[in-house]
């Protein structure tokens, strides 16, 4: 008996997604080499550990959850590239205590700061502030990458904001510990010293506002690096640093000791019950998620492979069916799920509703559900596969803008932890309503199939092609179908490249690209982090009825 057509389709989906995950893992393996084997060997010859080796030694086993591994991916090629933007960041436990880790990678341009390095550091600090996580900086950096200083130095979201955040975090009572394990020069010298406590490693660690060459050029003084700002100078003479350690391992042990003595903030007390595995295996996510973006599918089958016992308590199940709203548990944590449904359905009036589109009734349902979750202090998990809000005369007469605004308002003012998973499309205002990056999700990740843009590539290319063709014709240029197709293909190719998960991750529009089968684990880790900060009182703005 042969395999059914349906089974063949499911197998095809699974194979496609496994290939995408394999590509992701291969890319990450390369990125984790930093500046490459030769530079890693050079680092070791100086008696230093790499950034990732330092993290491995410092944190509890298997507790590190990396954020922004793909930052700067495909960027700065003219400068020789900057894997992970030259800094490794993520959450981890140190002696059971959740912390944020920021570790400069000295194998990438001596740890120099590119524009994305600054953005990535700011994202790490943002996560630390939102979730009240003690923050550990493992400093080994030559400072700003001078050829690009205009893109990292003066603006609000640039380099200087990091030091402002150091001060703000300290005032919030969020402990910050810095270990100076290599160069720490110029403006970068402020980061460790604006931390609450600082450690410096003998022989390899140094900190000063201006290095020996600049001192010579500025004031004519000749001084060596160690005398100017080495460990002995900064702990015995200036008192700039608090602890002197013989090597990397001793410095990391000192951090463990300091973290072990920290007090605790009140938790958010998010409800957690006994964790029950889903009845549906995680492999079914790959099987039920179509290879082709245009194919409809039942989102609930995806969710059943993520939530405890595969159980969902649906809210308004038969109303506004292009969005699924449901209570569930993920690894024991109580959650509220807002997910785009890709099935084609009919509303109560018998009108066809296309999957992945937000209609007035689905926006209204989602808004009410978000308000309910805030009232009950239940974290919200958003699953994106959205083309945007419905357009056209019928929708406009029905007040789609008003209903969409209600949903955006509720998401904007929501105070419970919000976590977003971009499964595939996240287009236009749909991205906003489903808690895209601009709406402060505690964490936002994408599957390898994720696409973030104003609209889909084909749609955007058609619009831009029409504009370009019209402009050329007004100038008197004669165009045939072949030329118009070439214009369309050129625009679509560029647009498609700029909507991929990798493009989004490289610019930190999402925190990571994950294997869809790891979604449950990622969400559980994210809620555990979010549980470290009390939930503020919820006050919704004006919502028109």
DSSP symbol at 179: E
d(CA 130, CA 46) in angstroms, rounded, equals 37
φ/ψ of residue 272, rounded to 5: -140, 130
58: left (phi over 0), alpha (psi -120 to 50) or beta: alpha
pLDDT digits (tens, 9 = 90+) for 17-74: 999 999 999 999 999 999 999 999 999 999 999 999 999 999 999 999 999 999 999 9
The predicted structure's pLDDT at residue 85 = 96
Distances (CA, A) of 354 to 87, 382, 404, 459, 465: 43, 19, 17, 17, 26
The predicted structure's pLDDT at residue 142 = 80
Q: How big is the CA angle at 98 (ends 93 and 100), to the nearest 5 degrees?
A: 95
Strand (E) or helix (H) holding 19:
helix 5-31
The predicted structure's pLDDT at residue 543 = 62
d(CA 7, CA 486) in angstroms, rounded, equals 38
> For the chain, which residues score pLDDT lower than 50?
none
The predicted structure's pLDDT at residue 545 = 53
> Positive or negative, the Cα torsion across 417, 117, 105, 144?
negative
SS (H, E, C) 135-174: EEEEEEECCECHHHHHHCCCCCCCCHHHHHHHHHHHHCCC
User: Going by C-beta distance under 8 Å and a sequence separation of 6 or more, which residues neighbour residue 332?
Assistant: 272, 273, 274, 275, 276, 308, 524
d(CA 422, CA 416) in angstroms, rounded, equals 19
Provide the 3-class DSSP secondary structure of residue 23: helix
Cβ–Cβ < 8 Å for 536, 542: no
d(CA 120, CA 87) in angstroms, rounded, equals 8
The predicted structure's pLDDT at residue 541 = 63
How many residues are there in the chain? 545
């Amino acid at each position: 008996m042969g395999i059914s057509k349906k089974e063949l389709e499911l197998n095809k989906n699974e194979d496609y997604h496994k290939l995408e995950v394999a590509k992701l893992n291969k890319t990450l393996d390369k990125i984790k080499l930093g500046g490459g084997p030769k530079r890693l060997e050079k680092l070791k010859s100086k008696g230093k550990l790499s950034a990732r080796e330092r993290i491995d030694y410092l944190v509890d086993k298997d507790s590190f959850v990396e954020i922004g591994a793909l930052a700067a991916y495909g960027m700065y090629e003219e400068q020789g590239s900057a894997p992970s933007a030259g800094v490794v960041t993520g959450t981890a436990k140190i002696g059971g205590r959740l912390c944020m880790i920021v570790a400069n990678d000295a194998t990438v341009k001596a740890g120099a700061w590119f524009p994305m390095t600054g953005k990535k550091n700011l994202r790490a600090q943002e996560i630390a502030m939102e979730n009240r996580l003690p923050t550990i900086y493992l400093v080994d950096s030559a400072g700003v990458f001078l050829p690009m200083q205009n893109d990292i130095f003066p603006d609000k979201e640039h380099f200087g904001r990091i030091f402002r955040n150091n001060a703000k975090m300290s005032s919030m009572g969020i402990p910050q510990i810095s270990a100076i394990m290599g160069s720490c020069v110029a403006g970068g010298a402020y980061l460790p010293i604006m931390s609450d406590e600082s450690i410096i490693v003998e022989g390899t660690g140094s900190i000063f506002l201006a290095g020996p060459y600049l001192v010579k050029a500025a004031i004519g003084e000749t001084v060596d690096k160690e005398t100017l700002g080495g460990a002995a100078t900064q702990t015995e003479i200036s008192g700039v640093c608090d602890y002197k350690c013989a090597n990397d391992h001793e410095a990391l042990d000192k951090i463990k000791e300091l973290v072990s003595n920290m007090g605790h903030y009140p938790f958010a007390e998010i409800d957690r019950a006994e964790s029950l595995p889903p009845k549906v295996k995680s492999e079914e996510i790959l099987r039920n998620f179509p290879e082709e973006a245009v194919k409809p599918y039942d989102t609930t089958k995806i969710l059943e492979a993520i939530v405890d016992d595969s159980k969902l308590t649906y809210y308004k199940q038969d109303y506004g069916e292009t969005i699924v709203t449901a209570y569930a548990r993920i690894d024991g944590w109580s959650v509220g799920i807002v997910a785009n449904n890709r099935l084609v359905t009919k509303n109560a009036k018998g009108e066809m509703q296309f999957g992945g589109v937000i209609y007035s009734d689905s926006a209204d349902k989602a808004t009410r559900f978000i308000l309910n979750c805030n009232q009950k202090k239940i974290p919200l998990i958003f699953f994106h596969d959205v083309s945007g809000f419905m357009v056209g005369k019928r929708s406009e007469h029905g007040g789609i803008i008003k209903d969409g605004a209600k949903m955006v308002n509720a998401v904007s003012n929501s105070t419970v932890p919000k976590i977003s998973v971009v499964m595939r499309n996240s287009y236009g205002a749909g991205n906003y309503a489903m808690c895209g990056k601009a709406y402060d999700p505690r964490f936002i990740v994408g599957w390898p199939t994720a696409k973030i843009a104003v609209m889909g590539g084909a749609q955007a290319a058609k619009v831009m092609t029409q504009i370009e063709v019209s402009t050329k014709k007004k100038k008197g240029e004669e165009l045939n179908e072949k030329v118009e197709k070439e214009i369309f293909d050129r625009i679509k190719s560029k647009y498609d490249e700029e909507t991929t998960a990798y493009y989004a991750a490289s610019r930190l529009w999402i925190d990571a690209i994950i294997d869809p089968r790891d979604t449950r684990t990622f969400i559980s880790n994210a809620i555990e982090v979010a549980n470290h900060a009390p939930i503020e009182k919820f006050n919704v703005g004006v919502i028109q009825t």
